[in-house]
Every structure is written in C-alpha cells, then in structure tokens.
Amino acid sequence: MKPPSEKPRGKRKDQPAYPPLAPHEVELTDFFVRMGAILGVQRSVAEIYSLLYASPKALDFDHIQGRLDMSQGSVSQGLKFLRDHGMILSIKEKGTKRERWEPTPSLAASLVNILRSQVLPTLEKSKPSLQKVLDSASARSADPEVIERIARLQRWNSRAVELSALLLPPPVDE
C-alpha cells in the first residue's frame, strides 16, 4: 500500500538520480558477495567491486554511492579496502578533481593480496605461542602423545608460514 518511496542515502547537493541495479547486476553482486564471504570480505566491499567489475568505464565516488544506495562512509571505507589490497586503480584525468575507479586487470593478484593480508599475519603470530605451549608441555612432562601433537602443530605452522611467504610474496611497491 505504501508507495515505494525509497529514502536515498545522504547525498551531496545536485546529485543526479542513479538507477537501481539491474537483475544481471544483482546476480553478479551475489556472486561476489558469496566469494567475499569465504575470504572474510564484507558485503559492501563486494558490492562496490562488483559494480566496478561490470562497468565498462571507471566510476566516481558519487556514482558508486548513488547506484548502490550506500552511505558515504561505507563507500569511503570500501574504496580504501579495495585500494589497500590492490584491487582497484584510480584513473585521474587532469583538469578534474574527482577520482574515478576501475578494477585492476588481475583478479588473481587481488585475491593473493587479500589472502596475504588475512592469513599470513595469523600464521606468523602463532609461531611464538605454539613454541610457548610446547615448552610448557615439555616442562610439565605432559603426556608424550599430547607433546607429539603439539610438536606436529608447530611443524605445520612453520611450514605454512614458509609456504605462504613463498606463494604470496609481498608487493614491491611503496
């Protein structure tokens, strides 16, 4: 009964009306959202990436905000995440203040960046903890089977760190 009077998110003045997502765009967004969930990437970030991915030309801040009907804060944070992980590039035409964004050519490289930032720190942080646990177990003369389990865990962790560092070399920029 109520007319679908959507309340648009806080816009800047003089902003054009942006159309809502078309069905095929929604479907692609769902895909990116699902994949993002596996990687621990939040919905709004996946939505922004999807929009840029399906767009033939680079889009600016207001365009993204308008089409996704999303707050300024979320757009800003989302673009920051995507930038920080090398997933989007800024197209800066001279004579214009606004930045415009497009996905980086290599999605594979982008995924690697996300994995590195999420997984590697965790693995590395675990190294000293496991060492401590193992030392403590030895000191207490814990059950040999338990000691062996923890030692195995530690070897695993070390190898995972090495392997990840190999597979996910840090970027050379900066």
Partner DNA sequence: CGCAATCTTCATTAAAAATTGAACTTAGGC
Partner DNA sequence: GCCTAAGTTCAATTTTTAATGAAGATTGCG
Residues that bind DNA (CB under 7 A): 9-10, 12-13, 40, 42-45, 60-62, 70-77, 79-80, 95-99
User: With CB cut-offs between 5 and 8 Å by kind, which of a second copy, DNA, none does residue 122 bind?
Assistant: a second copy
Cβ-based neighbours of 58, under 8 Å, separated by 6 or more = 52, 91, 100, 101, 102
Burial of 70 (0-12, 13-18, 19+ CB in 10 A): middle
User: With CB cut-offs between 5 and 8 Å by kind, which of DNA, a second copy, none does residue 44 bind?
Assistant: DNA
Nearer to a second copy, 3 or 56 (CB): 56
User: With CB cut-offs between 5 and 8 Å by kind, which of DNA, a second copy, none does residue 97 bind?
Assistant: DNA
Distance CA 54, CA 68 (A): 13
Q: What single letter denotes the amino acid at residue 72?
A: Q
> Tokens at residue 108, please?
């594979």
User: With CB cut-offs between 5 and 8 Å by kind, which of a second copy, DNA, none does residue 48 bind?
Assistant: none
Binding residues for a second copy, per CB under 8 A?
A: 23-24, 27-28, 30-31, 34-35, 37-38, 40, 53-56, 103, 107, 118-119, 122, 125-126, 129-130, 132-133, 136-137, 140, 142-143, 145-146, 149-150, 152-153, 156
User: What SS3 state is found at 94?
Assistant: coil
Nearer to DNA, 72 or 164 (CB): 72
Burial of 158 (0-12, 13-18, 19+ CB in 10 A): middle
Nearer to a second copy, 7 or 24 (CB): 24
Q: Provide, rounded to whole angstroms, the least separation between the CB of residue 152 and a second copy.
A: 8
Q: Provide, rounded to whole angstroms, the least separation between the CB of residue 28 and DNA.
A: 17
Nearer to DNA, 56 or 95 (CB): 95
Distance CA 144, CA 80 (A): 49
Report the side by side order of strands in the sheet with 59-60: 59-60, 100-103, 88-91
